Structure 1
Amino acid sequence: MPAELPGFGAPSGIRKKQVEGRIKLGPRGLAGDGVADREHHGRPEQAVYALGALDRDYWQEQLQRELPPGSMGENLVIADMDTHDVLVGDRFVLPDAVLEAVWPRIPCTKLAHVMGDKKFGRGFLRSGHLGVYFRVIQPGSLAAGDAAALDASAAVDRRILDVVA
């Protein structure tokens, strides 16, 4: 849920915490996940922000530190997903829900603040390890360890990263 971001002067929902058990997933995202900045976040096209495990590994290596789940604002980490390979419209089919890739995460000042580097956003954007915003095609629930199968049948011939080009 949104909370005051120390040293930032505004509430934010960027700090996520790992949860246990199944979590309901609806058209606007995960149950219990609040949004503070409704002007830039919280639309149906931003229901879930996922990092690929490969993207997260990249950032841990670059930053030379462990990144606990949710530390970059992600709601979900998908094994074997690399933002570089995701196409607009790719669907990730979970046991009880379906997500569709819409666009990449664009870094904001809150991410830079949490990372402790005012210039973090520039390097984040250049890296291409941005993660993906998803819309919910089929509401349901999800839990840690759920398999996510790629269904590219609805994808268009445009990489998620090309949306920011």
Structure 2
Amino acid sequence: ESLNGAGVSTANATLNLRVELADGYDFSFLSLSESGDYLMRGASSEVDVLGQLRVFDLAAPLTRANEGIATAGALTVRDGVNHNWDASAELALTGTQWSDTRGVNVTIENLLGAYTDSADPGRKQAFVEKKFVGLSVGVVPAVPEPESYALMLAGLGMLGLAAKRRSHR
């Protein structure tokens, strides 16, 4: 919170999560959803909701992706009343670099900022707060390798031959 021209006030927090998949699945996406509220009074008052959603493969840390957290709309109402905000970020974890990933480290980095200018006359206030953060992890069944298809077809063929032999007896 910044009051009566105190300048910039920031609050930051970083959360690291380890996400591991069961065999037979691949990651498809990570989706971050956040919400909170803000209040501003005075023409110079400003608030910001910033940060990043980051992910890297635990077994191959150079395989990584990141996306900035963006609010659904501008935080511009300066009427001295609390207003809600929503923010999100999404990462697609597709392509060959993610196909055999069994576990990832997810970092949610948040930075909330409030600002009031001392040159602005009168009462000034800027306040921003986070109230919720949610992470959705998308998974899909792993696609079998071509060798698996060949093995499955060979097995079905042998079952067919065995059934044909039995019917001729």
Same fold (TM over 0.5): no
The higher radius of gyration belongs to: 2
Alignment TM-score, normalising by the size of structure 2: 0.21
- Structure possessing the higher relative contact order (Cα contacts under 8 Å, 6 or more residues apart): 2
Alignment TM-score, normalising by the size of structure 1: 0.22
Greater per-residue strand proportion = 2
Greater per-residue helix proportion = 1
